[in-house]
Amino acid sequence: MGDLFDGIEEQEIEEEKRKAPSSDRPRILVVGMNYIGDTLFTTPLIRALAKHRPNAVIDVLNGVRGTAMLTENPHVASVIPKPARGDKKAMEQLIARLAETRYESAVIASTSFESAWIPYRAKIPVRSGIRSELRSFMLTHAQASKNRHIILRILDALEPLSIPSDGVHMELVLTKAEEKDAISVLSKKRLAKEKFLVVHAGATRRQKRWPVEYFIKLITTFRKSVGAPVVLIGGPEDAMLNTIIAADCKKSIALDLTAAVSLRVLAGVIRNAWAFVGNDSAPLHIASAMNVHTVGLFGQTDPLVYGTLHEGGTIISARQTCPPLKRALCSVTRGCRGAACMDNITVEEVLDALRAIYSWA
């Protein structure tokens, strides 16, 4: 009986610790990434930290572009936006703020010099991260860089602190209002209960984009052969590209959401999709975080590093069509000037992958 009551007492103590004011609890700073997809890659690390240190307050210093991916994350107390590059005054104010907060430790997900320099300047006593870019002297706990998937590389920052991983699945938590808004958008076209396909033709760089004419052929052929509705998505930067696709595909597209909804409502739309197809870009990783069937198209970027890891992910890579030397150079540069390798991914390859997904829909 003594063991039973001891267990109950321990649970009560832990509950009291969680209810304690944040000023009385240890604080940990996660130095995150800048972009949307990269920010999602850090969520397994944040979850592992929270599981290992349930009483700690976890703040995340993150690039502004990716902060929306951490809103409503149950493990994050607050998200601190990084100052704009070159804003020295804002950076000094940030460092002073971090120093005043008195973090007990910083776990650095990014491998950039600046990401280690900030907690070093803020005099956070424990600073754990990956050795890179001549920054080891700023880390109190350093882990050697390993050539593997970026999520696993980020998790390596926990190893010097003897904190175990809690899996590689990414987390993106939406509010009930955001989920409701996504359903409302779909309901206007009677898609809320349909097994629709989301298509995203954009990417940050030309080298990562599958040709627009291939997307047009894919959408029209998919609509005829599979019959499922198609939803076209993209941000303001994809407007010109998607205008061309929509004009050529006409009635093959059931709903065009280009620059029509917020990023988080768009995530809700993707969550309700049966499948997603697109280049290596933020929407692909959002779909992966939402555990949606995905067909990811990879050219310059290595899918072994940036590919989807969830069970429903299919990767089609153009890298295998390049000569070994060119492929090696591509790994350490921005790739070719054009997107020649992406031309080698055929429409039929992508259709076959989608047909396999929809064969049991």
Q: Cβ of 244: how many Cβ atoms within 10 Å? A: 14
The rounded mean pLDDT for the chain is 90
- Residue 4 pLDDT: 44
Q: List pLDDT tens digits, range 278-317.
A: 999 999 999 999 999 999 999 888 899 999 999 999 999 9
Tokens for 55, please give them: 């009483």
Residues 181-196: what's their mean pLDDT? 97
Instruction: Give tens-digit pLDDT for 193-209.
Output: 999 999 999 988 888 89
Nearest residue to 197 (alpha-carbon basis) of 229, 236, 153: 229
Residue 201 and residue 211 in contact, taking contact as beta carbons nearer than 8 Å: no
Q: Which residue, 33, 79, 31, 28, is CA-closest to 54?
A: 28
59, β-bridge pairs? 29, 78
Percent pLDDT > 70 in the chain is 88
Phi-psi region of 153 (alpha: psi -120 to 50; beta: other; left: phi over 0): alpha
Dihedral angle of Cα 56, 151, 123, 24, to the nearest 10 degrees: -10
Q: What's the alpha-carbon Rg for the chain, to the nearest Å?
A: 22
pTM of the model: 0.89
Q: Is 8's pLDDT higher than 50?
A: no
pLDDT, residue 2, reads: 47
d(C-alpha 142, C-alpha 39), whole Å:
21
For residue 200, which of 72, 292, 312, 74 has the smallest C-alpha distance?
A: 292
Q: Give the 3-state secondary structure of residue 280.
A: coil
Using DSSP's 3-state secondary structure scheme, residue 303 falls into helix
pLDDT band at 318 (very low <50, low <70, confident <90, very high): confident
pLDDT at 13: 47
pLDDT value at residue 341: 81
Beginning with the edge strand found earlier in the chain, give each strand of the sheet holding 197-200 in spatial order: 255-256, 230-233, 197-200, 275-279, 293-298, 313-317
